[in-house]
């Protein structure tokens, strides 16, 4: 729980400032996500999958499909990490709801890993 610090809420940005603030928040999320081993493994696997598709001279549709599925995987990993951060704050000890929340987030990631692998296998086989 050492990561939690109460800070004053910043004023709400509007217009172009809102877009810049959103970009800053997204980059902050990416920095936080980059500390996760699973995210780094997924990046390596995604790069390897893309290299396989390029080596196999896959078509644009297959490459685009793989990139979209990979981005969905990264989005699920980000949401899973967000769930874990909130749950760890709410239940620093063991709690059934915490286990269930983490397991469900993990399942979402696993489903997208399976979808990525299935699509990669299909794209390489055709």
Q: Is the pLDDT of residue 1 over 60?
A: no
- From the list 105, 106, 102, the residue with the least C-alpha distance to 87 is 102
Residue from 42, 77, 84, 96 carrying the catalytic annotation: 77
Q: What is the pLDDT of residues 18-67, one digit of tens each?
A: 899 999 999 999 999 999 999 999 999 999 999 999 999 999 999 999 99
Query: What's the average model confidence in pLDDT over 87-115?
Result: 97
CA distance 19 to 25: 10
User: For 55-78, how does the pLDDT look when each residue is reduced to its tens digit (9 = 90+)?
Assistant: 999 999 999 999 999 999 999 999
Query: Percent of the chain at pLDDT above 90?
Result: 84
pTM for the model: 0.86
C-alpha distances in angstroms, 19 versus 23, 27, 42, 78? Answer: 6, 12, 28, 20
96 flagged as catalytic: no
């Amino acid at each position: 729980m050492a990561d939690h610090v109460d800070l004053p809420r910043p004023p709400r940005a509007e217009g172009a400032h809102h877009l810049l603030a959103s970009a800053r928040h997204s980059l902050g999320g990416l920095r936080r996500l980059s500390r996760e081993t699973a995210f780094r493994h997924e990046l390596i696997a995604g790069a390897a999958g893309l290299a396989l598709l390029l080596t196999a001279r896959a078509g644009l549709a297959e490459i685009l499909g793989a990139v979209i599925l990979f981005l969905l995987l990264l989005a699920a990993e980000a949401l899973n990490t967000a769930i874990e951060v909130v749950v760890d704050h709410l239940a620093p000890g063991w709690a059934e709801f915490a286990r269930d929340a983490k397991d469900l987030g993990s399942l979402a990631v696993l489903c997208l890993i399976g979808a990525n692998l299935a699509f990669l296998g299909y794209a390489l086989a055709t």
